[in-house]
Amino acid sequence: MNDSSTSGELADRLRTLLSRLSPGDRLPSSRELIKEYRVGPATVARAIAALAAEGAVVTRPGSGTYVAQRTRHHDEAAADTDWQTVALTDRAVDTHLMAEPLGPPPAGTITMDSGYVHRSLQPTRALSAALARAARRPDAWDRAPAGGVMALRTVFARIVGGSVAPEDVLVTAGGQSALSIAFRAIAGPGSPVLVESPTYPRALAAVRAAGLRPVPVPLDADGLRPDMLADAFAMTGARLLYCQPTYQNPTGTVLTVERRRQILDVARASGAFVVEDDFARHLGHGGPVPRPLVADDRDGAVVHVTSLTKPAAPSLRIGALVARGPVMERMRAVRLVDDFFVTRPLQEAALEVLSSPSWDRHVRSLGTALRERCAVLAAALTQELPGATVTGLPTGGLHLWLRLPPGVDDTVLTAAARQRGVAVSAGSRYFATEPPAAHLRIGFAATADHTELTEGVRRLGAALTDLAPKQG
Ligand SMILES: Cc1ncc(COP(=O)(O)O)c(C=O)c1O
């Protein structure tokens, strides 16, 4: 095998090797594989990542790669499910964008690819107490109102501000569910949807699952570009824009006050809805958090999405849609078709946590912790990956957006980083079409502490060095 051999070929040859080994056996080291198969480190990293993703091997950072224990599924004669390929026809849900591309990380991996905060930053004690109390209420297991528990809708309306009323709020099972409901309610199959570029991959997946077609519109340091937006509406005839004006995922940008007005004006002039994903409202790093677009929306153009999973905990799956007019009727109908209503005890627990004076304290201390972690991460990146560029220090959110040095492939580096024991997200997942440059999204909220954060960056730097002979 020579240097130009693909990682797919190497993975095939390693599968043959695996068939001769027993579960728990150690594979040859990366160095040995490079030598034996005469390939580069990136090819080895990609091949091992593919085998890990299919569950054939497990990698233990600092120790090596081992043959996975065979599951019952592997031992039994495999069922013939080929008929499903014919029955399923076209792909309705983009599994690529929904799944973690490299599978679950091996034990010991430092998590810098998560969209949630570490358990030590979650108000777990308050949540547990609130849920226990909610479960003891006499009406705990009754049906909940389809729009959500009224007191919770009232709190969401108050948080949004402006003239939003509790009746304009629909409680959902988190932000992802809210996005999926909104896209299906607003646009019909085949319609274009304008999206920021880059954007949240699972919003792209929800757009595609609704049969819609994402059309990217560029961002700069001030957020979505209104001039490009006007062109995109004119060219595509789209009636829907999906955007995150505040602490955008992945770039962390905040849409300026001036542009907020312009974007609403452009959308109104195009007769289009704006789905405002305000997932990060409670993730500010201590400065003022801008008003949501919906608070200044006079005529029902904005459909606002919010969620509690980020500032509280991933399993507090409570979010909300805020909108006015017939679009709200449609979204309520979709909600009912999906699953009637959100589990009542969870709504009651969310209500108690949100209404308690300790919630504001929690949000403030979370903001301080995020700001500190963000600074630690940025400093560590500057030191360990001097050729890469942090594209801007965010004032809120959970991630940094890092532009990679020329010639470095983000998916190859992500796979190599896994080998080194750190999980980061490849930037190409965040683009609806061809990425203009290679990036990584690096999270600073899911690690245990600052030490783990800097160790994660050290491992990432080592992974980049591993690739140097191959990628320059
Ligand atoms: C931009 C954005 N919107 C929405 C969500 C959905 O989050 P959840 O469903 O946990 O509320 C996420 C989660 O990562 C996100 O990053």
pLDDT single digits (tens) 199-231: 999 999 999 999 999 999 999 999 999 999 999
Reported confidence tier of residue 102, pLDDT bands at 50, 70, 90? low
Q: How far apart are CA 366 and CA 23, in angstroms?
A: 43
Q: What percent of the chain has pLDDT over 90?
A: 76
Q: What is the pLDDT of residue 470?
A: 55
Residue 71 has pLDDT above 80, yes or no: no
CATH code given to domain 124-355: 3.40.640.10
Q: Which ligand 1 atom is nearest residue 174's CA?
A: 11
Residue closest to 385 by CA, chosen among 427, 440, 437: 440
Q: Whose alpha carbon is nearest atom 3 of ligand 1?
A: 279
User: How many angstroms separate the Cα of 374 from the Cα of each of 300, 368, 444, 454, 457?
Assistant: 36, 10, 6, 11, 12
Question: Quick one: average pLDDT of 397-406?
Answer: 97
Q: What is the pLDDT of residue 197?
A: 97
Q: Which of 47-51, 70-74, 233-237 has maximum average pLDDT?
A: 233-237
Reported confidence tier of residue 99, pLDDT bands at 50, 70, 90? low
- CA 359, 360, 361, 363 dihedral sign is positive
Reported confidence tier of residue 40, pLDDT bands at 50, 70, 90? confident
The bridge status of strand 302-307 relative to strand 319-322 is: antiparallel
Question: Quick one: average pLDDT of 53-80?
Answer: 75
Ligand 1 pocket: which of 309, 338, 399 to mutate (most atoms <8 Å of CB)? 309
Ligand 1 pocket: which of 183, 307, 401 to mutate (most atoms <8 Å of CB)? 307
Task: Output the CA 28–ligand 1 centroid distance in Å.
Answer: 40
Ligand 1 pocket: which of 156, 202, 315, 429 to mutate (most atoms <8 Å of CB)? 202
The bridge status of strand 110-111 relative to strand 422-423 is: parallel
Yes or no: say if 65 and 27 are a contact pair by the CB < 8 Å rule: yes
Q: Is the CB of 115 under 6 A from ligand 1?
A: yes
Q: Is the CB of 443 under 6 A from ligand 1?
A: no
Yes or no: say if 310 and 116 are a contact pair by the CB < 8 Å rule: yes
Reported confidence tier of residue 2, pLDDT bands at 50, 70, 90? very low
Q: How far apart are CA 304 and CA 306, in angstroms?
A: 7
Question: Quick one: average pLDDT of 331-347?
Answer: 96
Q: What is the pLDDT of residue 3?
A: 46
Residue predicted with more confidence, 274 or 21 = 274
The region, left, alpha or beta by phi > 0 then psi within -120 to 50, assigned to residue 81 is alpha
Q: What is the pLDDT of residue 402?
A: 98
Reported confidence tier of residue 98, pLDDT bands at 50, 70, 90? low
Q: Is the CB of 319 under 6 A from ligand 1?
A: yes
Q: Thinking of the domain 7-67, which architecture would CATH place it in?
A: Orthogonal Bundle (1.10)
Residue 74 has pLDDT above 70, yes or no: no
Q: What percent of the chain has pLDDT over 70?
A: 94
**Domain pair 110-116+360-471 / 124-355, same fold:** no
Residue predicted with more confidence, 370 or 26 = 370
Domain boundaries, given as residue ranges, for the chain: 7-67, 110-116+360-471, 124-355
Q: What is the pLDDT of residue 89?
A: 77
| 330-335 contact pairs (CB < 8 A, 24+) | 330/185, 330/186, 331/170, 331/181, 331/182, 331/185, 331/303, 332/146, 332/147, 332/170, 333/185, 334/181, 334/184, 334/185, 335/146, 335/170, 335/172, 335/181
Q: What is the pLDDT of residue 4?
A: 44
CATH number assigned to the domain with residue range 110-116+360-471, chosen from the 4 options 3.40.50.920, 3.30.540.10, 3.90.1150.10, 3.90.340.10: 3.90.1150.10
Q: Which residue type does 127 have?
A: L
Q: Is the CB of 397 under 6 A from ligand 1?
A: no
Q: Whose alpha carbon is nearest atom 8 of ligand 1?
A: 175
